């Protein structure tokens, strides 16, 4: 079956690091994505990782992939109030040519 | 210069009416999608078209009918609207059917009275 799971809420203080976790089921996924949704807006692609990589860093964002455990994480360094949003993990489900999204993690950043 | 644009942004209508949502992308992509996001923000694929051909048709009531006049447009028509249709509908596009990231519109907020 196809499933992507994330915890629903995360609260951090401004300046701290945030770590958002995700587990997925399709071991043949070739790409895994992180999207950000701000209030009243659509989903914005933040970053992605190819399945043959363990880690990808892009400025304040670090993506870690553990293929054995089918676990993906997004670390945001020096979290700012502008990072408050919903973060969606997504995988391409190769069996059905579609992208499966997690339920989204709501990140709250306290000043 | 909006990449994926949807109209209208807000749609308030009564139960039983028929309405359409339009989507256009200027990214030159060949695949377009419709998603429904419910009040809990859960995002579910409804339809996908690749080069004007329907490739994904999830379990969606027959009242929902997509139409793709060309690769740059994917419209969604909904007949006999019901209270449960209230949601945010997102259009997205990508290049190819696999592995490429999707670009989303800002959504159409549909409210059924």
Q: Which phi and psi (to 5°) does residue A35 adopt? A: -115, 150
Q: How confident is the model at residue A2, as a pLDDT?
A: 64
Contact A75, A18 (CB under 8 A): yes
Q: How confident is the model at residue A31, as a pLDDT?
A: 84
Which secondary-structure segment (H or E) carries B13? strand B10-13
Region B48-55: mean pLDDT is 86
Question: Which chain B positions have a beta carbon within 8 Å of A33's beta carbon?
Answer: 101
Contact B49, B31 (CB under 8 A): yes
Looking at the DSSP bridge assignments, the partners of residue A32 are A49, A91
Region B29-53: mean pLDDT is 90
Q: Counting one residue from A and one from B, how many pairs have CB atoms under 8 Å apart? A: 52
**Residue B43 contacts A, CB cutoff 8 Å:** yes
Q: How confident is the model at residue A99, as a pLDDT?
A: 83
What order do you get walking across the sheet with A61-66 strand by strand? A4-6, A18-24, A71-76, A61-66, A55-58
**Residue B48 contacts A, CB cutoff 8 Å:** yes
Are A99 and B104 an interchain contact pair (Cβ–Cβ within 8 Å)? no
Question: Which chain B positions have a beta carbon within 8 Å of A91's beta carbon?
Answer: none
Q: How far A26 CA sits from the closest chain B CA (Å)?
A: 13
Q: How far B18 CA sits from the closest chain A CA (Å)?
A: 24
For every residue of A7-69, DSSP letters joined together read: -SEEEEETTS-EEEEEEE--TT--EEEEEEE-TTS-EEEEEEEETT-SEEEETTEEEEEETTT
pLDDT tens per residue, range A52-95: 899 999 999 999 999 999 999 999 999 999 999 999 999 877 65
């Amino acid at each position: 079956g196809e499933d992507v799971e994330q915890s629903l809420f995360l609260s951090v203080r401004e300046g701290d690091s945030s770590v958002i976790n995700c587990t997925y089921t399709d071991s043949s996924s070739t790409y895994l994505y992180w999207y950000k949704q701000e209030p009243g807006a659509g989903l914005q692609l933040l970053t992605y990782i190819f399945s043959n990589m363990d880690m990808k860093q892009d400025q304040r964002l670090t993506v870690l992939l553990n293929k054995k455990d089918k676990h993906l994480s997004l670390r945001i360094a020096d979290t700012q109030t502008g990072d408050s949003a919903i973060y969606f993990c997504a995988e391409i489900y190769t069996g059905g040519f579609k992208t499966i999204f997690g339920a989204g993690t709501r990140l709250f950043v306290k000043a | 210069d909006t990449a994926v644009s949807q109209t209208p942004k807000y749609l308030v209508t009564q139960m039983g009416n028929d309405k359409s949502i339009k989507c256009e992308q200027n990214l030159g992509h060949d695949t377009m999608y419709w998603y429904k996001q419910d009040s809990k923000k859960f995002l579910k694929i409804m339809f996908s078209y690749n080069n004007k051909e329907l490739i994904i048709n999830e379990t969606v009531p027959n009242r929902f009918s997509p139409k793709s006049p060309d690769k740059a447009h994917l419209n969604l028509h909904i007949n006999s609207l019901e209270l449960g249709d209230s949601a945010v509908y997102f259009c997205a596009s990508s290049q190819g059917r696999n592995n490429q990231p999707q670009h989303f519109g800002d959504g159409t907020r549909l409210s059924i009275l």
